[in-house]
Amino acid sequence: MQLHYGINDLKDFDLMPFLPIVLPVILVGFILAMVALIDLYRNKNRRNNVLIWTLIIIFGNTLGPVLYFVIGRKDSEQVDIGN
């Protein structure tokens, strides 16, 4: 019984059946990150911690932009109401 696989075993693995599932997920994540970065830099004067949010959006894959839209935009709206 073989418990682990080597690099040579991966050459027989076919990625084409998974491509219709993986490609849209990657595309949606990329578009979401671009929209979040554009929104962040259009409103960077009203946002707190622009650098931190940029890093979260870029390195957080799909979760980073979602966190920005849920948490990051709320913080700036609260700042705008107070002024």
Residue 35: domain span: 21-82
Q: Which residues contact 41 (CB under 8 A, 6 or more apart)?
A: 50
The reported pTM is: 0.69
Whether residue 67 lies inside any domain: the answer is yes
- CB 64, CB 57: distance < 8 Å: yes
Task: Give the total number of structural domains in the chain.
Answer: 1
Whether residue 5 lies inside any domain: the answer is no
Whether residue 10 lies inside any domain: the answer is no
> Tens digit of pLDDT per residue, the chain (83 long)?
666 777 777 777 787 888 899 999 899 999 999 999 999 999 888 888 899 999 999 998 888 998 988 888 776 555 454 44
E strand or H helix that includes residue 10 = helix 7-10
